[in-house]
Every structure is written in C-alpha cells, then in structure tokens.
Amino acid sequence: MESGHIGAICVGYSPMIYYDTTKMGAARQRSGLTRVSARLREEFGGTVTPVTWARRAFVRADEPADEVEFKPSDWLLTVELFSEAERPGLAEFLRQPPCRLAAMFHDAIPLRWPHITWPQSVQRHPEYMKLLASFDRVFAISEASRRDLAGFWRWQGVTPRAQVDLIELGADFDGSIRVQRDAIIPKERPVLLCVGIVEPRKNQTFLLDVAEALWREGVDFDLHVVGRVNPHFGRPIEAGMKALARREPRFCFHAAASDRTLGRLYATARAVVFPTIAEGCGLPLLEALWRGVPCVCSDLPVLRENADGGGCLVAQVNDATDWADQLRTVLINPDENRRLQAAAMARPLPRWTETAAALRRALTSA
C-alpha cells in the first residue's frame, strides 16, 4: 500500500460500511444532493452504520458521544461534498485514513459555471475534487461527470489512487411502485411540469419566455414550476415568476411541494420540461420517465446519456425556436405524445434499492 493509507486487511472480520450523513442530518432544505443521500440511506437500511463528522472525527449519528473505531477493512462511504473549512481536521483524516474510502461524485458545475454558482461551492470544489483522488473508490453518476473528474485531475497534475466507476441513480424519487400510465391523452388542458431549484443554471426564465410566446400564439396549456429558490441567485427569477402568475392564470409556481403534491403533478403532466444548461446526471428526466411522462430536455451530452433511450425530445440549449417546436409537439400532437409515453414506460430504469445494492456489492466484493 502507498504511504499514508491503511495496511493489512483484518482476517476473519466482516467489514462494516459507515455512511456519512453529516449534511443530510443538518439540512433544512431537501436539495437534490440531500435527497440522493436520504434515498440511499433509506434503501441501505441496517446494512450501513450512519456517521457524522464532529469534533474532528467521525461519530455515530445515533450516539454522537461515540467516536467511530474504524478497522482497516471497513469502508467509509460518502455521497456528500466536503472541505477542510467545513470539517476541520478532515484533510488529515483523509491523508491517513483508518479504513477504506469510497465516495460518489456528482459534477464539476462549480468549476465550469462559477459565475452562477454559490461562491462557497466555487471555493470548496477544487479542494474537494483533489481530495477524491486519494479515495479508494469513486462512483461517478454519469459518464460526463467521470470525464470531468478525470480531466480535472490531469489539469491539476494529480495522480489518482481512486478507481472511478459509474453508478446509476434511482428513478423512483419517492419509492413508489411503477404503475402503467394510461396512454389515452386526456381532453383537459395539457399540463407542462418543470422541477428543479430556481436558479440561472436551471433556466426557468428562458422557459417562461418560450411559454409566453406559445400562449400568444394560441397554444393552450398550463405550466407548473416546482423548486426551492436559491437565495443567492434565484430571487430575480422568483420575482419574474410571481409577476407572470399575477397576469397569467395558466402559470403556477410552487416554491415548496411535498412528494405527494409532486406525484399529483407528475400524474397530470403531458410532459416534463428540463431546459437546464448544466447537470451532473439530470434526475428530473429519470423521474419523469419512471412515471411514464415524456420529457423535453436540453441537448446536453450528460442528458443524452439517458434521453437517447426513448421517451424524450431534445432541444438546443437556449434556442427558443427549437424549444417552441418541441413543446408544440407534445402539446398538440396526440399521436406523438402517445408514442413518447409508451417509450417512456417501456424503459428499464433503476430503482434506488438497486443503486444501494450496487454500491454494497462493489464495496463488499473489494
């Protein structure tokens, strides 16, 4: 083994998997990342031991007074973002780990889009991505994310210890059973649904411009936007949406929505619209397909990894004409919408229980 890393693996000992819940436990908002962490925790059940970083060490989440006594063959698995500033002492822990280390890598968005990303995230991300190189296993959530991580390490002149593999995220956002969607197009006014944090990266302002153009053209539909507001960048977008809601009864903004409300919106949606300009994976696309709802999404390589399998239409990023054409298709062409619905329901998609099982297999077989 390289210097600074664990040595011999204990013989006759069944390795433990300790699961990092530091941010999940303290989160007031259920962001995309904390939702991933929470869904995995639910599906892992009793097969992992939740831990949190406190007092310069990992402690048991259910017994904060108890510092974890790792054994060399154990695994510490984290899907969270971290830095020395947020977790004093963590860098030293990772330099001389008492156990094996595994992490999930989401994206390099703070480096690629620093002008529209939280300054704290922009500051933290280079250190975070460098630290990942010292892990034993890293699971990237898309091929695009894996390329970004490898490219960053090359750029920084870092020789990674980590083996980087892909992991598929679950499509069943609330653990619901997949029910066959009725392919009959209802006669009520069609509904478009957009899900995601309200911020420039998710491109809600562009979507509203396209929707208004279609309404002026005479295309009749409702548009629902669901997402918490990014307090650093989202307020102007929120103000624009509230102004639109006052003058356009066919538009509704949901700043907060329960899983039940979101499920009801998915059930009535003609299509999910996803005009994002940058993603690590694109969970709203997968979650729409799980429910048999077609998706109109941006033509990004990371989204094409899932969109090309069927049930989706892609439109060029920020091309209002292309977006209007694709939305018109799902709104006024029932035959095409039925085809997209059928293609979405025919897709084999992973569940979170399968994601958790795949991570367990990868770690316990190592």
Q: Enumerate the domain spans of the chain.
A: 17-170+352-364, 191-346
pLDDT band at 240; cut points 50, 70, 90: very high
Residue type at position 39:
R
Residue type at position 351:
R
The yes-or-no answer to whether 17-170+352-364 and 191-346 have a common fold is yes
Q: What is the pLDDT of residue 9?
A: 47
Q: What is the longest distance spanned by two Cα atoms in the chain?
A: 72
Q: Does pTM surpass 0.95?
A: no
Give me the sign of the Cα torsion angle 180, 184, 188, 193: positive
pLDDT in tens, 1-53: 333 444 444 455 689 999 999 988 665 555 678 889 999 999 999 999 999 99
Q: What is the pLDDT of residue 287?
A: 92
Q: What is the pLDDT of residue 67?
A: 94
CATH architecture of 191-346: 3-Layer(aba) Sandwich (3.40)
Task: Report the distance separating Cα 148 and Cα 308, nearest Å.
Answer: 21
CATH architecture of 17-170+352-364: 3-Layer(aba) Sandwich (3.40)
Q: What is the mean pLDDT of residues 123-140?
A: 97
